[in-house]
Amino acid sequence: PAFPALLQRVAEVYAAKQNELTAQGLHLLAALADTLPKANNIEVMLDDTPLALAVSQHKDNFDRANGGFGSAPKFLHPAELDLLLRRSQAIHDTDAANFVHFTLQQMAAGGLYDQLGGGFCRYSVDERWDIPHFEKMLYDNGLLLALYSDAWQHGGNPMFARVAAQTADWVMREMQSAHGGYFSSLDADSEHEEGKFYVWQREKVRQLLSEEEYALFAPYFGLDQPANFEHHTWNLRISAPLKAIAQRLNVPLEQATKRLALAQEKLFATRERRIRPGRDEKILASWNGLMIAGMAHAARVFERPDWRHSAQRAMDFVRQTLWQDGKLLATCKDGADGHTGKTQLNAYLDDHAFLLNAALELLQAEYRATDLAFAVQLADALLEHFEDKQAGGFFFTRHDHEALIQRNKVGQDNATPSGNGSAAQALLRLTVLTGNTAYQAAAERCLKLYFPAMQQYASYHSSLCSALAASLQPPSLLVLCGAANETAAWRAAVQKPYLP
């Protein structure tokens, strides 16, 4: 009864104060318009001042005790960490590099990371990465897969290689559809309890393992400490160095490593028999773009053709299913009967930008003419259907989208990189590959639009800062031609160093 009364009251106010409401609506529209970046009447000259500012602002927000940025709840911020790693290489900033490596170590050691099955949860509810919100998102893991691969290249930490391998294997095992596309997410709960699939009773672990295995496993994953989840169960996190535990038990490190791996396999096999969290089986163009890029990037770094094939299958699915009559669609629901489900919704800026970047990553892993052609189609669609030709930058929706109260342009990064930052980066890379300067011009118009904001709030625009760095110092292009057996040594040599 309350809602009909509310509707009646709305109708009465509208009838009595229509002019006043119209004026208020116009004020609201003006306020919304003020949130959009404005084109500068003065020609903007791009320089590297936002890059130094971004590093400085990120350093001010470092959590030097636990890694990451800020306090709980603690999110992953892959775009920000990626920028810091890139800048640390460019300007030889050891402090920034050390912070990125420390953060990635803390995240991978924590309960945020699935220590048995691979993959990261969405965020940590505490500052120490101990207890996560147990939902696993495709986009987080795609971005982190690329980042951990880069960090391994940069510093050679074997933990980062292990995390990349486990995450890639989890994606192919649990998140890739029979048709090739990647599913969206895994729920946090099963049997109506968050985390139930992932946490353990200590006595259950003791029963599953031999005495020797438990003696290693318990201190390594924190089972010798008080329960860390709901006061009665344990969410596994690395709590002590394996080398120290092995020395205390007088076990050779190599033997301890094998014993720990066997214990993990036993628990993983037991966990696989539990009731699983639900899986969101939508296949989203944008999130697939992030995972395809991450998988292709990791495949190139670690020379894993199986990962590359996974990424290519996903890209082929997107191109064959979601690209229809020269237009990209945003989503597809995999059919329960084994057939591809319904595709729908015109794709947005992020869909095009993330997939364009993914196509370029695939081309670096292995050249396929279909990927280059698709990259050009996506880039042309960005310029034709999304770019603001007057002010610069890219709208979130197409020019022929239904009328909205406001067409947003998103420059700040969120859980995913901004569409404008990703588009600018990808267009600059495609310029190097194709020689088409129209792509570079669009990217630079975008950067000039956001440059005033970047000069003040650079840390909120990490993706755009990465694009700015690429604009100021364009990457080199090296083309390897010849039979695969002849170019293999060259490819391995080129891919060995971290060259962002």
Is the pLDDT confidence value at 338 over 50?
no
Mean per-residue pLDDT, 159-171: 99
CA distance 422 to 427: 9
For the stretch 93-119, what's the b/e string if a residue is b when 16 or more beta carbons lie within 10 angstroms of its beta carbon? beebbebbbbbbbbbbbbbbbbbbbbb
Of the candidates 311, 331, 335, the residue with the CA atom closest to the CA atom of residue 321:
331
Q: Position of tokens 């890379």?
A: 429
CA distance 173 to 141: 14
Of the candidates 251, 248, 260, the residue with the CA atom closest to the CA atom of residue 218:
260
Is the pLDDT confidence value at 342 over 80?
no
Which pLDDT value is given to residue 344?
84
pLDDT digits (tens, 9 = 90+) for 240-293: 999 999 999 999 999 999 999 999 999 999 999 999 999 999 999 999 999 999
pLDDT digits (tens, 9 = 90+) for 166-214: 999 999 999 999 999 999 999 999 999 999 999 999 999 999 999 999 9
Residues 217 and 223: beta-carbon distance below 8 Å: yes
Of the candidates 6, 238, 289, 24, the residue with the CA atom closest to the CA atom of residue 112:
238
DSSP alpha helix (H) spans, 61-130: 78-91, 94-109
Residues 116 and 234: beta-carbon distance below 8 Å: no
DSSP letter, residue 465:
H
Is the pLDDT confidence value at 335 over 60?
no
Which pLDDT value is given to residue 191?
95
Mean per-residue pLDDT, 5-20: 91
Burial of 364 (0-12, 13-18, 19+ CB in 10 A): middle
Which pLDDT value is given to residue 336?
43
- State which amino acid sits at residue 154: H
Residues 455 and 53: beta-carbon distance below 8 Å: yes
Q: Where in 281-424 does DSSP place strands (E)?
A: 282-284, 323-324, 327-333, 343-346
- State which amino acid sits at residue 202: R
pLDDT digits (tens, 9 = 90+) for 417-471: 999 999 999 999 999 999 999 999 999 999 999 999 999 999 999 999 999 999 9
Query: Is residue 335 classed as helix, strand or coil in its secondary structure?
Result: coil
Which pLDDT value is given to residue 56?
98
Mean per-residue pLDDT, 479-491: 83
CA distance 129 to 413: 21
Which pLDDT value is given to residue 423?
99
CATH 1.50.10.10 fits 49-194+279-495, yes or no: yes
pLDDT digits (tens, 9 = 90+) for 351-391: 999 999 999 999 999 999 999 999 999 999 999 999 999 99
Instruction: Check whether the bond before 73 is cis (ω within 30° of 0).
Output: yes
Residues 185 and 135: beta-carbon distance below 8 Å: yes
Q: Which residues contact 435 (CB under 8 A, 6 or more apart)?
A: none
CA dihedral 380, 381, 382, 386 (to 10 degrees): 140
pLDDT band, very low/low/confident/very high, at 341 (cuts 50, 70, 90): low
CA dihedral 207, 213, 216, 218 (to 10 degrees): -10
Is the pLDDT confidence value at 416 over 60?
yes
Is the pLDDT confidence value at 339 over 60?
no
Is the pLDDT confidence value at 337 over 50?
no
Of the candidates 77, 162, 157, the residue with the CA atom closest to the CA atom of residue 119:
162
Residues 463 and 477: beta-carbon distance below 8 Å: no
Which pLDDT value is given to residue 42?
67
| Percent of the chain predicted with pLDDT > 90 | 85
Burial of 390 (0-12, 13-18, 19+ CB in 10 A): exposed
CA distance 356 to 286: 10
Mean per-residue pLDDT, 473-480: 87
355-357-359 Cα angle (round to 5): 70
Strand pairing class (327-333; 282-284): antiparallel
Torsion sign over Cα 245, 249, 251, 252: positive
- State which amino acid sits at residue 162: R
CA distance 152 to 177: 29
Instruction: Output Rg (C-alpha) for the chain, integer angstroms.
Output: 25
Residue 113 corresponds to which tokens in the numbers above?
């990371």
- State which amino acid sits at residue 487: T
Residues 385 and 400: beta-carbon distance below 8 Å: yes
pLDDT digits (tens, 9 = 90+) for 24-80: 888 888 888 777 888 776 688 999 999 999 999 999 999 999 999 999 999 999 999
Is the pLDDT confidence value at 492 over 90?
no
Is the pLDDT confidence value at 236 over 90?
yes
